[in-house]
Chain A
Amino acid sequence: MGGVEDDEPASKRMKLSSEELRLLSNGSAIKEPLAGSSGGLMAWPLHSQGGKEVVGSKGLIKKVEFVRIITKALYSLGYIKSGAHLEEESGITLHSSLVNVFMRQILEGSWDESIVTLHDIGLTDERTIKSASFLILEQKFFELLDEEKVMDALNTLRTEIAPLCINNSRVRELSSSIVSPSQCFSVWSLKQDTLRARSRTKLLEELQKLLPPTVMIPERRLEHLVEQALVLQRGACLFHNSMDKEMSLYADHQCGRDQIPSQTLQILQSHADEVWFLQFSHNGKYLASSSNDRSAIIWEVDANGLSLKHKLSGHQKPISSVSWSPDDHQLLTCGVEEVLRCWDVSSGECLHVYEKAGLGMVSCGWSPDGKWIFSGVNDKSICMWELDGKELECWKGQCTLKISDLEITSDGRQIISICRETAILLHDREAKVERLIEEDRTITSFSLSRDNRFLLVNLLNQEIHLWNIEGDLKLVSKYKGHKRTRFIIRSCFGGLEQAFIASGSEDSLVYIWHRGTGELIKALPGHSGSVNCVSWNPANPHMLASASDDRTIRIWGLNNLSAKLKDSHSNGIHYCNGRT
């Protein structure tokens, strides 16, 4: 069928082109060559038909620009022939002929001619022309020096470079480099690289950056645009909770909801009464839970799930909270208005009891270096202890309430506690400055983000507020939907880069929101009593634990089915008890 096209009458060809013109003006991209023309698209001078052609469904992309950056990408990838062919076929040249001449002159080292061409290209900005000339003449200068034509180089400096009257400090450096080209002053050896000739291709790159992009397309422009799109997609991915996913150009990136833990994997039933508090260790290898049954339990996390490691008994009162030492080797437990106990995690032994005569502890926390312990006391003060029990400092006054959390920022400076019904105190130990987060409703609990920049505050009116505590205190987001009427319900940050908020609720569901948008993603059923506390494994974004009045702890993870469908690269946790 080879000879057919040659015999085709001119009119038929014209029809083809008008067909394609129509397609173009409808805004749809050219997909395949139209049937009947095996020679592909015809080339006609697009410039003459106006650079107003657009491609893409939104009509945002100018065709000329699109083709030019593709051509540039082809050349950068090394496909010279394809690049040249595209230029020919589309009739859209990558660079104007003057620019091509300019580029050739640079690479050949015809400096004076290149400057003439530069002026001919027709740039409007005087400064750009001067800066570009400066770069070119600098190259000429250095190449002359390399050839040991010192007087010629000096001449270039005096008669061509200096009169440009820009960048005087560079002119200074250049004259100094004439004086001692090879044996530089010892102190100047640092400047060596800027004081010798660079390769001509590098010079061309520098010039490309200087000249406006319409004249010379910047390097790697197409790659930059694509990467921009990928980054945006990742940012917009609501359920982005998995590092495994590689981004592909074939489809928009979107993690499915299957990346959020939503299935009960395990039910832990070792407590004899309501489970009030739980928290994963910093390394995610352990979970500690505390209960109304006056005991705390350390669970070990491994490939098969969680198993009971130690049951810590000794408190005479129910344990309201626990706190992991920064190195996860010790655990503090706090009895309700009672004492603090410090336990060794590996042996389960009680290492120390911290008490104050006639008073009871209400909260506990560690200094970031693990050397000191902080505790809230029911006389509204906060105390600081050495590990051996010696009391170091005590902040009196209205520092904390009988029911309050206690957090210390990881720089050891700020102590955070609920000091009044509607206010949280941020006390800076070093600067001796106090800040207050004030709310309209009663605050019941709070949680500090891992980067210490945000505080999640639970309120009586069933709202969770996210505050920015870096710099000025600012309310950032609100999360609603869960139920809280009578008890303390706790919430936490979690997931990849703490992009999610999880909370317990009195309707026995576990609630999960997307932190950035505030959208409620999941409400997980399973418990048969109020869910008091949740904790997201810091080392495993797919594991969530919840503690409930139904005396159980539930471990939530990814949906079994999708886990199996995934490639063999699993997170190391085999799923058992996949049913709710």
Chain B
Amino acid sequence: MDVDPRQYEHIAINDNDIHNIIMSYLVHNCFKETLESFIACTGMKQPSDYLEDMDKRKRIFQFALEGNALKSIELTEQLATNLLEKNKDLHFDLLSLHFVELVCSRKCAAALEFAQTKLTPFGKEQKYVEKLEDFMALLAFDEPEKSPMFHLLSLEYRQHVAENLNRAILAYANHPSYTAMERLIQQTTVVRQCLNQEHTKDGPPPFSLKDFLKS
């Protein structure tokens, strides 16, 4: 390849590509109104079956993020039957969200019963045992926020589970589970790391997303 990876400024870009990238981002994150408005402005072709499902997906995501895992599970079953059966890790994570809810609202007896009926069956497989132990340990503390496992109660954790659920639903419907935007940013990061490793100070510096966003 005789093209220097640092010389990126003269590469031609297709407008359509950019629109597609933006659309994929909006669809993935269920920004329905924004998407409709964007389509109207740019005159892009409306993606066929996305819209209706987007509403449902959005609600599923919201419930999971709030910690209302049971509702989230119910809606998922409606939208994508068998998804959770085939995706046991996800199923476990969602159920554990509900468990955490019960623990946080200090409903110990209910939490215990829920764990015994819904979570322990997963314990037959070795890979769930440690996770189970982590969650059960929350029961021992009067103030679970102060226990060693406090991260299981955090927003970040719920976000993580909700996002996984979102991706799984998209994949189930044969749509891409990652946005083009994510991939592009990941790619840029790697390229920049590679270029930095080459130790050559001469020539133009590689593109830095961080600097761009700051400016």
Binding site for B on A (CB under 8 A): 150-151, 154, 157-159, 161-163, 168, 171-176, 178-180, 185-188
B141 at the interface (CB under 8 A from A): yes
B42 at the interface (CB under 8 A from A): no
How far is A300 from B25 in the complex, measured between Cα atoms in Å?
95
What 9 A-B pairs are tightest by C-beta distance, nearest first?
A: A185-B123, A175-B140, A172-B137, A175-B136, A176-B136, A162-B140, A175-B139, A157-B140, A171-B140
For A181, the closest partner residue in chain B by CB is B116
Main secondary structure of the interface of B (DSSP, over half): helix
- Inter-chain CB contacts under 8 Å: number: 66
Which among A157, A185, A186 has the greatest number of chain B C-beta atoms within 10 A?
A185
Instruction: Report chain A residues within 8 Å CB of B137.
Output: 171-172, 175-176
Contact B148 A168 (CB under 8 A): yes
Q: Given A168-B148, A179-B120, A180-B123, A158 and B136 touching (CB < 8 A)?
A: no
> Does B195 have its Cβ within 8 Å of any Cβ on chain A?
no
Q: From residue A441, how far is it (CB to closest CB) to chain B in Å?
A: 63
In B123-150, the 8 Å CB interface with A consists of: 123-124, 126, 129, 132-134, 136-142, 147-148
| Residues of chain B having any CB pair with chain A under 8 Å | 108-109, 112, 115-116, 119-120, 123-124, 126, 129, 132-134, 136-142, 147-148
B124 and A179: CB pair below 8 A?
Answer: no
- B108:A151 contact, CB within 8 angstroms: yes
Residues on B with C-beta less than 8 A from A168 are 148
B119 contacts across to A, CB distance below 8 A: 179
Are B133 and A176 in touch, CB under 8 angstroms?
Answer: yes
A154 contacts B139, CB within 8 Å? yes
Between-chain CB contacts (< 8 Å), 27 pairs: A151-B108, A151-B109, A151-B112, A158-B108, A158-B140, A158-B142, A162-B140, A163-B142, A171-B137, A172-B137, A172-B140, A175-B136, A175-B137, A175-B139, A175-B140, A176-B133, A176-B137, A179-B115, A179-B119, A179-B136, A180-B116, A185-B120, A185-B124, A185-B132, A186-B123, A187-B123, A187-B129
Q: By the criterion CB–CB under 8 Å, are B112 and A150 in contact?
A: yes
Question: B133 touching A172 by the CB < 8 A rule?
Answer: yes
Contacts of A157 in B (CB 8 A): 139-140
In the complex, what's the smallest C-beta–C-beta distance from A175 to chain B, in angstroms?
Answer: 4
The distance in angstroms between the C-alpha atoms of A42 and B137, with both chains bound, is: 60
Q: How far is the CB of B210 from chain A (nearest CB, A)?
A: 39
- Cβ A154 vs Cβ B123 within 8 A: no
Closest B-chain residue to A188, C-beta based?
A: B129
Q: Which residues of A contact B109 (CB under 8 A)?
A: 151
A179 and B116 within 8 A (CB): yes
Q: Quote the shortest CB–CB distance from B159 to chain A (angstroms).
A: 25
Q: Are A186 and B139 in contact (CB under 8 A)?
A: no
A175 to B108, CA, bound (A): 12
Q: Are B139 and A158 in contact (CB under 8 A)?
A: yes
**Chain B: minimal CB distance from A427 (Å):** 48
A interface: dominant SS:
helix
* A176 cross-chain contacts in B, Cβ below 8 A: 132-133, 136-137
Question: Given A176-B137, A185-B120, A185-B129, A159 and B112 touching (CB < 8 A)?
Answer: no
CB distance from A165 to the nearest CB of B (A): 10
Bound-complex Cα distance A180 to B129 (A): 12
Q: Roughly how many angstroms separate A161 CA and B141 CA in the complex, as a whole number?
A: 9
Chain A residues with CB under 8 A of B147: 162
A residues in contact with B148, CB < 8 Å: 168
Contacts of B112 on A, CB cut-off 8 Å? 150-151, 154, 178-179
Q: In this complex, what residue of B is CB-closest to A155?
A: B108
**A171 / chain B contacts, CB cutoff of 8 Å:** 137, 140
B136 near A178: Cβ-Cβ < 8 Å: yes
Q: In the complex, A175→B129 CA distance in Å? A: 13
Is the Cβ of A187 less than 8 Å from the Cβ of B139?
A: no
Q: Which residues of A contact B124 (CB under 8 A)?
A: 185-186
Residues of chain B lying within 8 A (CB to CB) of residue A161: 140
Chain B residue at smallest Cβ distance from A184: B123
B-side contacts of A162, CB under 8 Å: 140-142, 147
Chain A residues whose C-beta falls within 8 Å of the C-beta of B139 in the assembled complex = 154, 157-158, 175, 178-179
Report the separation of the CA atoms of residues A42 and B109 in the bound assembly, to the nearest whole angstrom.
Answer: 63
CB distance from B120 to the nearest CB of A (A): 5
Complex Cα distance A173/B124, Å?
17
Q: Which of B129, B137, B138, B148 has the most CB of A within 10 A?
A: B137
A175-B111 Cα distance, complex, nearest whole Å = 12
Closest Cβ neighbor of B120 among chain A residues: A180
In the complex, the answer to whether B126 meets A154 with C-beta atoms within 8 Å is no
Residues of chain A lying within 8 A (CB to CB) of residue B126:
187
Inter-chain contacts of A175 with B (CB < 8 A): 136-140
Flag if A158 contacts B141 (CB, 8 Å): yes
Separation of A187 and B127 alpha carbons in the complex (Å)? 10
Give A186 to B136 CA distance when docked, in angstroms: 17
Q: State A460–B79 Cα separation when bound (angstroms).
A: 97
Task: Give the residue name and chain of the A residue nearest to B128 (CB).
Answer: A185
Q: How far is the CB of A189 from chain B (nearest CB, A)?
A: 12
B111 to chain A, nearest CB (A): 10
Of the candidates B115, B116, B136, the one whose C-beta lies within 8 Å of that of A172 is B136
Closest beta carbon of chain B to A164's beta carbon, Å: 11
Within the assembled complex, what's the spacing in Å between the Cα atoms of A544 and B116? 74
Known: A162-B141, A172-B133, A174-B140. A154 touches B108 (CB 8 A): yes
Which A residues touch B138, using CB under 8 A?
175
